[in-house]
Amino acid sequence: MQHATPLISTIVGGIVLAFILGAIANRFKLPPLIGYLCAGIAVGPHTPGYTADQALAPELAELGVILLMFGVGLHFSIKDLMAVKRIAIPGAIVQIGIATALGMLVAWGFDWSWGQGLVYGLALSVASTVVLLRALQERDLIESQQGRIAVGWLIVEDLAMVLALVLLPAMSGLIGGDGDAAGAAPATMDVLLEILVTLGKVAAFVAVMLVIGRRFIPWMLERIIWTGSRELFRLGVLATALGVAFGAYSLFGVSFALGAFFAGMVLAESEFSHRAAEESLPLRDAFAVLFFVSVGMLFDPMVLVNDPWGVLATLLIIVVGKSLAALAIVRVFGHDNRVGLTIAVSLAQIGEFSFILASLGVYLKVLPERGQALILAGALLSILLNPVLFHLLDRHTARQDAARKARPQLA
């Protein structure tokens, strides 16, 4: 029996190296996500030494996407969003629009098409859930005013990206995808019809989940809980995530990501949501690591040398453009600088959805491979810079607090 199979070696190599580099990153107060991406770079084809299987990595990444989106759905809270809807919904939409416009402007300078610029800009407009939540938790800001606004803002961004992932395949012909590559761009009416069909399938899937899934999934898990088997409950949660995702793709033609998101969202409304989140967390974390490793495998470090101006422009959009837009929006809505700066720094990075959207864009030929490389470079650098920005914000806040306490004494 052959033991050193490509599947085993890819999983073992990715997880072991991700653990080592993730622990090193954590030692230096950086998000472990940096270590996972660097592990992917190390086992990728662009660096010397061991190279993981290039065919298996995307399939493992797909499992990671399913479980990541299931986790996003599990933590989706309409109540939290409604509490800050007056600023989170318009704020996130306007900020996405500004970041996308800046991305399209830079893409125009690269001599890309407007469709390529659109996908590039959208990928730069959404922050990483993992990085943002960790930064807020470390500072005990989740329950603060700025924390609730940041989380609500992030929920709106995530929903916008879910919609983009659904519509992008249908719109790929219109914005310069496979149709252009084949030499025959589809008619606008054909594309609009395809979009309507896609939205119809999504609506049918949502209806099935709300009418049947909303009742069946909690009922099934309740019966499993009655058995007293923790192992079966954990398996039931995993079967729900994977089964709904695969069923959504097979029966309704919608993405695995959307199916997994709705599975988590339906489960989040049940009384078992917290236990489901706890039981599925280890497996979600493991496959999320493999997802980030597979993303790192796509990154060529030479882009930092060969395309420095492109990397700089991408980083400026993420760290400066998005942050200034968020700060201005928060101030327009009447909040003080402390809230505005916290939101601005929280959003000054990109992550999971950016990787997913970039990969889909390259697959559909609506984003050049250079665009994906720049997005990956921007993500790595912005995640590295984010703790530094939060440290500067903490020092600024401490100085303000000290000055405020000293004023009465001086008076």
Query: Does the structure show a pLDDT above 50 at 258?
Result: yes
| Residue 102 confidence (pLDDT) | 96
Q: What is the mean pLDDT of residues 287-305?
A: 85
Record: fold of 6-410: Na+/H+ antiporter like fold (1.20.1530)
| Residue 183 confidence (pLDDT) | 46
3-state secondary structure (DSSP) of residue 323: helix
**Distance from C-alpha of 300 to C-alpha of 41, rounded to nearest angstrom:** 7
pLDDT in tens, 111-161: 999 999 999 999 999 998 777 877 777 777 877 888 888 888 887 888 888
| Residue 180 confidence (pLDDT) | 44
**Distance from C-alpha of 323 to C-alpha of 328, rounded to nearest angstrom:** 9
Identify the DSSP state of 139: T
Q: At what angle do helices 56-74 and 230-252 cross, to 10 degrees?
A: 110
| Residue 179 confidence (pLDDT) | 45
Tokens of 197: 């069909």
Q: Are 311 and 294 in contact (CB under 8 A)?
A: no
Q: Are 262 and 73 in contact (CB under 8 A)?
A: yes
H-assigned helices in 228-272: 230-252, 256-268
pTM of the model: 0.78
Q: Which of 187-196, 223-232, 372-381 has the lowest mean pLDDT?
A: 187-196
Query: Does the structure show a pLDDT above 90 at 396?
Result: no
pLDDT band at 243 (very low <50, low <70, confident <90, very high): very high
* Residue 10, CB-side half-sphere exposure with 13 Å CA sphere: 21
**Distance from C-alpha of 377 to C-alpha of 381, rounded to nearest angstrom:** 6
Tokens of 367: 């984003």
pLDDT band at 106 (very low <50, low <70, confident <90, very high): very high
Identify the DSSP state of 76: -
Q: What is the mean pLDDT of residues 227-235?
A: 89
3-state helix, strand, coil in the chain (%, to 5): 80, 0, 20
Query: Does the structure show a pLDDT above 90 at 291?
Result: no
pLDDT in tens, 26-35: 888 777 888 8
H-assigned helices in 75-187: 78-83, 85-109, 114-124, 129-138, 145-171, 178-181
C-alpha torsion 156→159→160→163, nearest 10: -160
Q: Which residue has the higher pLDDT, 148 or 3?
A: 148
**Distance from C-alpha of 50 to C-alpha of 30, rounded to nearest angstrom:** 25
What are the φ/ψ torsions at residue 380 (nearest 5 degrees)? -60, -50
Query: Does the structure show a pLDDT above 70 at 185?
Result: no
3-state secondary structure (DSSP) of residue 375: helix
Domain ranges of the chain: 6-410
pLDDT in tens, 320-341: 999 999 999 999 998 888 889 9
Q: What is the mean pLDDT of residues 235-251?
A: 90
